[in-house]
Amino acid sequence: QANHYFNKDIKEVEAAANRIIKSLPYEYNFSQGFFDGLVSLVYNCGEGGVMKSDFYKRLKSCRVKNGKINQNDLNFTIAAVKSCRISAPGHKSRRYDEHKLMLT
């Protein structure tokens, strides 16, 4: 039964991560690692929490030219994950894991 609930939840979280990506003012094919990290972030912080974060603000302002994202912008954006919605000691290690995942 736990697997059933997890599979239901993860589908909703993946859909939320896709909505976040589609809300960006540009099109870009993010890596699977980036998407997986974003899904984890959304699962842990909620779609609204992510969309209110510095991470999302930075993500919206990344420069994309000829289908390539500015790597400095992306690195600056991903760095913001490490401080996204940390209110308990366990959150810090989760954000660092999501940060590492997004870099792959």
CA atoms within 13 A on the CB side of 14: 8
Model confidence pLDDT, tens digit, residues 78-88: 999 998 888 88
- Predicted local distance difference test score (pLDDT) of residue 87: 83
The model carries a pTM of: 0.91
Could you say which residues of the chain have pLDDT below 50? none
Q: What is the pLDDT of residue 93?
A: 92
